[in-house]
Structure 1
């Protein structure tokens, strides 16, 4: 064909689209009827055109995403057995969680050498972490150490500021991929998307301030995605723009953000729990299309059941279906050129950058954390979200809408599904992960 098919059609300007919509509204106000504002202060329009494109160059993964299985290390041999089985069944990455030191030799027995591995450690032990890095000896191993994230979530340093930083300095001097930034904390605590981006960036900047830009390639990021499908895609893309911009200030080039993403727990429910599978499917799609390096799904029953083969198999198979049957194996670029997503990405990045600059001007992330400012902002955002949930403006099926009154859960609880009260003295007010439906669910359990 010498002529492009769409050359037969006249181009329609945004003004013409708006005029046509205004006619169809038959007197109703365009702004009041069709424009709406998000919690981030972004105005969403009813249509987007090529004029909304930003053509931003985002450094996305060159390959598709890894399917990750998360396993807690209680017994090394058992954890190894679960991990090897998960790899045979389609997982391409393993994330081990540990609360104490362990023996990596039986844990990693039979692993393919090129399997990416994450270690999320809820303790700080420089000698152990250095030995672990030496044992694994792979650029695909991520030992996720986040002393600032621990302070933010627990309210305390592992030991104290000075000793924690000295331990981290020893680790950084000897290991690659040894710092992580827990951006998932802010999402699960109720921060809006602009706040999540800004706080994650400012959190990472504390490490850059301490060590300099030379450690940028040793930092990885954990994110959680919620149910706002297109905005969550835009969030991950916006963070890559922000990270590149920040590294430019340190004169660091060609270092891409390494992102591991999980579905949020904030919108997961105890009652009508099977709906959680629908939520995680949508969220995993956002994670994939947003350009995550690795996606680790969560089981539908993770709040109230101990880890079990059925729940973990279903969560892994959700990702396998998306990767292989839905043909999203290499979908990291699919959102490129989508007018709506590009526009939202740009606006989220602008909003987040504004918050980040305010934080830095006020003394930086740690200073504002110790002052309680960040906790206050997240609490305000979480309260707004909870008020919307209570008014049914945010709907969780089976919990605040389409409730099955015959559904009972009291006898099914293997784990305590609510925020636990802590009686520990803390240096700062901790940032608490909390699900939206907890108050409603407590009442229902009491009435069973």
Structure 2
């Protein structure tokens, strides 16, 4: 016989809890005292109850849709790729670093390429069918770079289905750094689509919200502007004869995870849901668990002060990325803001992902946040805000029109300035910077970055504080 241990207790509604909290506040306003608000105007309550899930029924189909089944007995259901990045011209030295990293827990490579690399040296003794490889072209004309890479792949007799990964290049977003023409971008992407069509597991297009993030955008701006740019590209590619389904199935999501743990986690979940529902609008059926998400830890949140504190930020951001549904994780070295790198920082970056898997067991539970009263509501709030912003962008003529008129750039720069001033005034706490600062005697004031009105260049949250408080050059 089963007993309901709670049947003797009265049911308490959310309204009852709010009334009790209001009583304890002794005259203070509940919302003004206990309800916070993000820069996007999303309200975050001090508590959530089961009643709040009534509003999130539309998200139910996405719960536990994080990863495809690996299909190998004994492997954890929750799987992600641990990425090591390679950037430079000393192919033999980089090759040794890559092999060592692959022996120490990495299982994916992110190559930032110019196109003149000697791949025989760079990828010597690296067996691509057993890892994922992502290519970041250092050019707004990536076709030639990828063509040379694919030619090398064919020479290695790698089967088309054994090449896993994709291109980390958003041609639309790249216009915010280097001017380009929409038609030229579409032609370049069509060439990539044709080139990579025989490779079912290698993506030819990426939607890059990371660039907006590193320029200081809010969560909603990140997702709305990156998806709006993708919609602009979709229409052009369709006019060039490429079917919607082919485009969507060759696309990966590229994002950065910041230090606002719960908000960033829900941002990534919302990103995948938005992409899935966008595909449905074009009558394309996608499996949510197979939508690839490449996430890197944030450049925006890091500081050149108390540099080792960046390792803590990386850890929080990596957890947000994994709980948010990332398939591939790149933890950037913590000393990167100083413009240098060393073996220790690269090893620590790799170890964060290793520890989260091997010691924290984040790979043992498929979707730990599914059904959370708070996180499901926050995901829905971000989703609805981004959807509303996308509708406004379309009403104003689309991404390209807003880009040409500098509206996107101005809005992101406004957000950047607000956030940097919050650090400068101490309203946003940055440990090691405006709270418990370390030894800053030798830290020089950051150099002024020349940014044109049409550009959105990477910055960092503590820029104004460092400018005011660092040693003058």
Same fold (TM over 0.5): yes
- In structure 1, the residue matched to 2:194 is 173
The answer on whether the counterparts of 1:119 and 1:144 sit within 8 Å (CA) in structure 2 is: yes
Tell me how far 1:186 sits from its aligned partner: 0.7
| Residue 71 in structure 1 maps to residue 95 in structure 2 | no
Match of 1:289 among 308, 312, 323: 323
Alignment of 1:33-432 (within 5 A): 33-53=33-53, 54-55=56-57, 56=59, 57-58=61-62, 59-62=65-68, 63-112=78-127, 113-123=129-139, 124-136=141-153, 137=160, 138-154=162-178, 156-157=179-180, 160-175=181-196, 176-212=202-238, 213=244, 214-256=246-288, 257-404=291-438, 406-410=439-443, 418=447, 420-421=449-450, 429-432=454-457
CA distances 1:156-202 after superposition (whole Å, capped 9, x unpaired): 12xx4444432322221121411122211111111111111111211
The answer on whether the counterparts of 1:40 and 1:192 sit within 8 Å (CA) in structure 2 is: yes
Paired with 1:28 and 1:170, the residues of 2 have a C-alpha distance of 62
Paired with 2:7 and 2:416, the residues of 1 have a C-alpha distance of 49
Q: CA RMSD in A?
A: 2.2
Tell me how far 1:134 sits from its aligned partner: 4.8
SS of residue matched to 2:131: coil
Q: 359-368 vs 133-142, which deviates more?
A: 133-142
The answer on whether the counterparts of 1:133 and 1:143 sit within 8 Å (CA) in structure 2 is: no
The answer on whether the counterparts of 1:235 and 1:348 sit within 8 Å (CA) in structure 2 is: yes
Q: 31-40 vs 347-356, which deviates more?
A: 31-40
- In structure 1, the residue matched to 2:461 is 436
Q: Give unpaired runs (5+ residues) of structure 1.
A: none
Give aligned pairs, total: 436
TM-score by length of 1: 0.91
The answer on whether the counterparts of 2:423 and 2:465 sit within 8 Å (CA) in structure 1 is: no
The answer on whether the counterparts of 2:424 and 2:462 sit within 8 Å (CA) in structure 1 is: no
Q: 1:330 to 1:429 in 2, by over 3 A?
A: farther
Paired with 1:312 and 1:323, the residues of 2 have a C-alpha distance of 18
Q: 67-76 vs 45-54, which deviates more?
A: 67-76
Q: 348-357 vs 22-31, which deviates more?
A: 22-31
Tell me how far 1:141 sits from its aligned partner: 2.8
Paired with 1:201 and 1:167, the residues of 2 have a C-alpha distance of 19
The answer on whether the counterparts of 1:139 and 1:177 sit within 8 Å (CA) in structure 2 is: no
SS of residue matched to 1:67: strand
Q: 1:7 to 1:282 in 2, by over 3 A?
A: farther
Paired with 1:315 and 1:6, the residues of 2 have a C-alpha distance of 47
SS of residue matched to 1:408: coil
CA distances 1:279-329 after superposition (whole Å, capped 9, x unpaired): 111111100110111111011111114221110001111111111101112
Q: 72-81 vs 236-245, which deviates more?
A: 72-81
TM-score by length of 2: 0.86
Tell me how far 1:232 sits from its aligned partner: 0.6
